[in-house]
A and B are shown apart, each in its own frame.
Chain A
Amino acid sequence: MRGGGLWQLGQSITRRLAQVDKKGAGRRYFASEAELKKTVLYDFHVANGGKMVPFAGWGMPIQYKDSIMESTVNCRQNGSLFDVSHMCGFSLKGKDCIPFLEKLVIADVAALTPGTGTLTVFTNEKGGAIDDSVITKVQNDHMYIVVNAGCRDKDLAHIEEHMKAFKAKGGDVSWHIHDERSLLALQGPLAAPVLQHLTKDDLSKLYFGEFRMTDINGAHCYITRTGYTGEDGFEISVPSENAVDLAKAILEKSEGKIRLTGLGARDSLRLEAGLCLYGNDMEQHITPVEAGLTWAIGKRRKAEGGFLGAEVILKQLAEGPKIRLVGFTSTGPPPRSHSEIQDEKGTTIGEITSGGFSPCLKKNIAMGYVKSGSHKAGTKAKILVRGKAYDGVVTKKPFVPTKYYKSS
């Protein structure tokens, strides 16, 4: 291993995780500690053994005292608490906020029941993904939206541009970026029982995708029953001045079973759950159809269009996309982003976009794009790692079964 290379190791970890923001990336990776943004939990992470690394312009914990593998396994056995305050939460308000938003995303926003949310994609004129996002209808005149940290500047500029045009035509929409709030993600089987100790609200009635504004540990929070791990859990938006106390309360109530968990394990967990990481599995030139998110395109939207890039997307729905995102398991070293995928004869058929060793399954898992026709589960392939070809097979996602709390 190269001398100084261990520092570069930390860099390569963040390079792998932080490809969400290539513009200005060089500047950010080598930003001094003073230039990195800090969440209100920064000192709390350090005090708890957090290894801090630069991520999308923020100083974030990649792991704590336990290893990434241990952390990942613990999330599914007990639970994990993540600080995801670097992500950007904002509200769209106004009586026309729904038609405004519908121009920018593929979801059937109008059909969402108040108090429910969904994963969606912000598209560009070519039908490509600007970002993926969880959008929630609070009321018919209030949408609560969370976007990726690495895409914050890009997304907000995009929305602002469209908002100006929309308002110029007389549309009633305004926004507020929730920089006064912090975001915690609580995931795993103990998430609900532990959180229940801290709120009077009956969490057993809050199902996957549902949203509520409620008091937790005495703080006015927004909670959504959702996450990025495949486990049952919540994303909790809390006023920043209450964030550290809430984190402490959650950890204490769990008697140490729920652990502070970093971005390293977060990446392993989402890969095991077959979830896309924007910047790796989805980019500006990839459509939601190619990325396997056709289910997220509202039925009415498929019929009517009316969002950026609809013509491209509707055409792909009719004819089938030329490439598709699929899962892989493989032998040998773990495939990494940009590993070439070949068919059994050695012809290139695609490229890996995310890969690693699954701590829970104890085997390699990966996601990548292959040309249509080679995408069926069970298709044998070769994956090139450092010049050598290893056996791989197209595998259905999620790799680890999900545990979303759904009403039967």
Chain B
Amino acid sequence: MHFLNSLAVVKDFKYAESHEWVKVDGKTATVGITDHAQDHLGDVVYVELPEVGAAVNQGSGFGAVESVKATSDIYSPVSGDVVEVNEDLNNSPGLVNSSPYEKGWIMKVEIKDDSELTNLKNSDEYAKFCEEEDAKH
């Protein structure tokens, strides 16, 4: 099987094996899905955003991303409370494809426990993980 190989990772972000990224700024974490994820998904047509104020837990589902052909659940890489969601995604879900690490951010979370960040991968570990995953298929 062949997959397109377009892999961009941002150095200081942290990554989950389920292909979400998190950018930590003090107590606030911004979350989105990676370039690898959006590339495999194809054109995103709808993003199911969490409610502001909702609690999220590391590893638990918090929403979904819909592409032309399929739905993918998305899992929070951090635990805490949702303080902001990217409303731009309602009218422009394609931002997840064109700018997965910037304009396509999905939610901001006030983190409760930053020790959980050690469960995540750094950019090199994540890049390697993706290569291995793609090679299996």
Contact = CB atoms under 8 A, between A and B. Distances in A.
A interacts with B: yes
B69 A16 contact: yes
Interface string B122-136: 000000010001001
A33 B133 contact: no
Contacts of B70: 9, 12-13, 16
A5 B18 contact: yes
Given A4-B133, A6-B133, A334-B66, A68 B42 contact: yes
B18 A268 contact: no
Contacts of B71: 12, 333, 336, 386
Contacts of B1: 10, 33, 52-53
A396 to B, nearest CB: 22
Contacts of A6: 19, 36-37, 40-41, 133
Contacts of B45: 334, 357
Contacts of A16: 69-70
A227 interface: no
A334 B46 contact: yes
Interface string B1-41: 11110000000000011111000000000000100110011
A16 B69 CA distance: 8
A357 B46 CA distance: 9
Contacts of A4: 133
B48 A2 contact: no
B47 to A, nearest CB: 9
Contacts of A51: 2-4
A7 interface: yes
Nearest to B3: A51
A333 B75 contact: no
Interface string B55-72: 000000000111011111
Contacts of A219: none
Contacts of A1: 18-20, 33, 37, 41, 65, 72-75
A267 B69 CA distance: 9
Interface in A366-390: 386
A69 interface: yes
B43 interface: yes
A264 B64 contact: no
Contacts of A69: 42-43, 68
A336 B17 CA distance: 27
B4 A386 contact: no
A63 interface: yes
A45 to B, nearest CB: 9
B75 A2 contact: yes
Contacts of B46: 332-334, 357
Given A1-B33, A2-B18, A46 B2 contact: yes
A52 B73 contact: no
Contacts of B20: 1
Contacts of A356: 68-69
Contact of A2 (B41, B42, B73, B137): B73
Interface string B67-92: 01111111100000000000000000
Interface in B86-136: 129, 133, 136
A264 B69 CA distance: 7
A333 B68 contact: no
A13 B2 contact: no
Interface of A: 1-7, 9-10, 12-13, 16-17, 33, 46, 49-53, 63, 65, 67-69, 264, 267-268, 332-334, 336, 356-357, 359, 386
Given A33-B1, A268-B68, 8 more contacts: A4-B133, A5-B19, A9-B40, A10-B40, A12-B71, A13-B69, A264-B69, A359-B43
